[in-house]
Each structure stands twice: as structure tokens, then as C-alpha cells.
Structure 1
Amino acid sequence: MKIVTVSAGLNQPSSTRLLADRLSQATVAALEAGGTAATVETIELRDIAHDITNAMLTGFPAGKLPGVLTGLAGADAVIAVTPIFTTSYSGLFKSFVDILDPGTLTGMPVLLGATGGTARHSLALEYAVRPLFTYLHADVVPTGVFAATDDWAGEGDRVNPLPERIDRAGHELAAKIRTTGREGVADPYAGVDPYAGVPSFNELLGH
């Protein structure tokens, strides 16, 4: 199995990359415990930020981007982690999502993670990041993992929920990979007119 991890951290090292690595490790451990071998490929968006911007401007991927997009489309699962800026995902993270071909993540098992300076931003995973991947028809696991700065400082504390949450999310993604995968997955909205049945303005005005 091939897992592609997308990290939108802007610094090196970054807590976003740290969380991405921990989620990858938990998923691989859960898969291997069930007898399934797995490899992890990590995409650091900061390393291809210029290519992402150029693709946004020109509409064509260049540089390292074509290989990155091909690798993502061929993954068995994706772990996507973004820092939270101004109560939502980062601009770099969204720009990368915006250049993906339609259907790239359809049916893809996805685990979501986010990092921030304070736990006050933890709900951004549910009201910003999860709806984005639902729109892309990804198969998102129930547990998302948010890590605030204090979570890393108190990771050894028995009452800190971060390690347990990482482990649970990894097991959920591993289970989804084993039981569903992407074979035979089709876009349920392919060929569907989103405006079918919607009355025209003339009909609404009674003309």
C-alpha cells in the first residue's frame, strides 16, 4: 500500500510536518499489525510552492509538480495536514487543492490533521477542512487530529489526548484502506446535471 502525506507547514522543522509524520507512523503500524505492508511518500508543499503558484497562474503544472500530482493520484490513501491561519487552512494548502484534477481524490481514504498555536482553533478541522474534502468526494475517516503548541509540550502527560487521538486516527485510516480502497470507485456525480430540476427565473416569476 502507498500512503501519500501532504504537509503544508511553512517552516523547517515544523509542527505540521511533525504531526504528518506521527499520523503516517500510526497508520503504517496499524497496517503492518494486520499483515499489510505500506510505504509513505511525503509531499512538503513549501518545496513546490513556486510550482503551485505558476500552475495557478498558467493552468499547467510544471517543474516537480507533474510528478507530485501523479504520485498523489496513484496513492491508496492520503494524509493531509495544514496549519490553521485566521481560523482556516493555509493559502498554500488551498492553492494545492485547487490545482488538483477533478476526481483525483474521489473515493480516496483520507485522514485530516491540523496544527495551531492554540486549541481555540481546533474546530477549524470540522468547519473548514473536512467540508473541503467532502466536496472533493474523498472518503474521510471520522477522527481528525488537531495539535496545538501545548499538546506537544505535554505529550508525555497521561491526560494529554494527542497520542491516543493520533493512534485512533491511524487505525481508522488503516481499516478503511483494508476494507474499501479505491478499486472500482466511480465519481457518484459524474454525468449528473447539478441544476436538473431547478426552476428557471421565468418559471419563478410566473412568465
Structure 2
Amino acid sequence: MFATAPLRIVAVSAGLSSPSSTRLLADRLAEATRERLTADQDRPVEVRVVELRDLAVSVANHLVTGFPPADLRDAIDAVTGADGLIAVSPVFTASYSGLFKSFFDVLDPTALTGKPVLIAATGGTPRHSLVLDHAMRPLFSYLRAVTLPTSVYAASEDWGAPGDEYTEGLPARIRRAGGELASAVTGRAVSGASRAATPDDGEDAVVPFEQQLAALRTS
């Protein structure tokens, strides 16, 4: 009997302080995802949090030299090998932090293709919540990740505040987002196993753009 490989959830936290609300939100989203995965299936679940503040110098060195130090290489391997990714950044100047962007800049552009990603952000005021849709979602769309419908923004006033009849409180949003990521991860694991068991019939082959243009010219 073969041991079942664990599902790997990796959370990337770009918080700069210690402790930080960004790391706290990453931890809570990871725990909500783990709880749903554990409740829904029997496979073990591994959760890891990557703290970008500890990798800032290594990220800068990689951008300059093109070679990742060992600690950054380990973090990159964890992120690209995860079954599900949680990405959390503080808001700086109405966008994600420079450290957050720099880390994802050093990834191979295709490394996150098809990977379920839950995006989240923290800030001092609710006015910056649109950063999720005008900055973070386009970033992961460019990287061809599968960004989940529910994103989570936590302003300072959200911590410990209950929801009302119009807006879910932060704990409810965290549970909903974690549930979505868990569903995406298990669905991806099943579909990946199905693809491995089914011969490639060529239907998903990518036709180069130049070849498509040539076909138009001769038609």
C-alpha cells in the first residue's frame, strides 16, 4: 500500500514588521484552508508560510545577479511546487509592496500556470481594498494562475469587528476564501490525476502565433 502524498498549501506574506497583520491574515487563511481540506478528504495537508521580509536581501541579489541564494531557491521551490497558494501583501501607495512584486518577478513566468491562488491584502483603511482587483488580480492573471473569486482585504478596523446585514465580518470572509481554495486544490488534484491517466490527444496543443497568421494569409 502506497502512502498518500500530502497536499501542500503555501502562504506568501510580504509583511515588513514582526509581528504583522499581514502575517496574521496569511496564517488565518492558511488555517481555514487546512481545516476545510482536512474535513473534506483523508489526505494529509502540509502548510508553510514564506516570510518575504527574511528574503529581502536574497531577492535583491537575485534581481542583480540572476542567481538565487539557497534560502530564496528553497522558497521559490515551495511556492512553485504548492498545490494551492495564498499571497498576502500590505498596501503601499495604493498597490502591493515592492518586495511582494520583486519576489514574483524572480519566478519563471510560467511557474504558476494553472495554480489556484487566493489573494489578500492588509491596510490601515478600507479605502485601499480595491488594490485586490486593480493590482493583485491582474498580476496573477499575467502569471496565468487561477485566481479565486473571493479575495480578502483586512483594514485595521476589521480585526475583531463583527459583520452586519450587508457585509460579512473578517472571520466569515476568511472561512469562505479558505473553502474556495480547498475546493480548487482538490479539484485540481483530481483533474491532474485524470490527465496523467489519459493519453494526450493533442486537443490542447498550443499553435504558435506565427503559424496562425500564416494560416490566415493562405486562407
Q: Describe the shift of the 1:71–1:152 C-alpha distance in structure 2 as closer, same or farther (beyond 3 A).
A: same
What letter is aligned with 2:28?
Answer: R
- Asked whether 1:164 is paired with 2:172, we answer yes
1:27 and 2:33 are equivalent in the alignment: yes
Q: Structure 1: which 4+ aligned runs deviate by more than 4 Å? A: 188-191, 194-197
Counterpart of 1:200 in structure 2 is none
Measured against aligned partners, the alpha-carbon deviations of 1:122-159 in whole angstroms (never above 9, x if no partner) come to 011011000100110001110000000000142xx243
Aligned partner of 2:209 among 188, 193, 198: 193
Counterpart check, 1:98 vs 2:105 = yes
- Specify which of 179, 187, 190 is matched with residue 187 of structure 2: 179
How far residue 67 of structure 1 moved from its aligned partner, in angstroms, is 1.2
Deviation at residue 193 of structure 1 after TM alignment: 3.4
User: 2:50 matched to 1:43?
Assistant: yes
Amino acid of the structure 2 residue aligned with 1:47: D
- What TM-score do the two structures reach when normalised by structure 1? 0.87
Equivalent AA in structure 2 for residue 123 of structure 1: L
Question: Which residue type is aligned with residue 99 of structure 1?
Answer: V
The number of residues matched between the two structures is: 194
Q: Secondary structure at the match of 1:113?
A: strand
Q: Structure 2: 5+ residue runs without aligned partners? A: 1-6, 197-203, 214-219
Q: 1:6 to 1:191 in 2, by over 3 A?
A: farther
Distance 2:17 2:90 in 1: 11
Secondary structure of the structure 2 residue equivalent to 1:93: helix
Distance in 1 between residues matched to 2:121 and 2:10, nearest whole Å: 16
Cα deviations by residue, 1:20-79 (Å, 9 ceiling, x for unpaired): 000001000111110243110110000010000000111111131111111222111110
Residue 111 (structure 1) shift: 0.5
Of all paired residues, the percent bearing the same amino acid is 50
Mapped partners of 1:190, 1:9: distance in 2: 39
Amino acid at match of 2:95: S
Partner of 1:117: 124
Q: What code does the residue aligned with 1:147 have?
A: A
Task: Please list, as runs of the form range in 1=range in 2, the aligned pairs for 1:122-141 lying within 5 A after superposition.
Answer: 122-141=129-148
How far does residue 189 in structure 1 lie from its aligned partner after superposition? 9.5
Normalized against structure 2, the TM-score is what?
0.82
